[in-house]
């Protein structure tokens, strides 16, 4: 599960999103190398989940 709440509070939404994106790329590479099926899901929480930001922008900012 990829979570955004605490990381967004610590370093801001842009930096948190970038770091989480890079981690997902690395997890994908490790899973491929080991032959493991990786399923990643995104938890909606934090300020966006409580109405602190436009949900559609949060969704559009997620990695492909």
What digits encode the pLDDT tens for the residues 24-43? 899 999 999 999 999 887 76
pLDDT band per the 50, 70, 90 thresholds, residue 46: low
Q: What is the pTM of this model?
A: 0.57
Q: Does position 52 have pLDDT exceeding 70, yes or no?
A: no
Q: Find how far residue 34's CA is from the centre of its chain.
A: 22
For the chain, counts of helices (H) and of strands (E): 4, 0
How far is residue 10's CA from residue 59's CA, in Å, rounded to a whole number? 20
């Amino acid at each position: 599960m990829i979570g955004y709440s605490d990381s967004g509070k610590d370093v801001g939404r842009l930096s948190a999103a970038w770091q989480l994106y890079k981690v997902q790329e690395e997890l994908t590479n490790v899973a491929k190398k080991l032959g493991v099926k990786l399923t990643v899901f995104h938890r909606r929480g934090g300020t966006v989940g409580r109405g602190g930001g436009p949900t559609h922008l949060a969704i559009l900012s997620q990695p492909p």
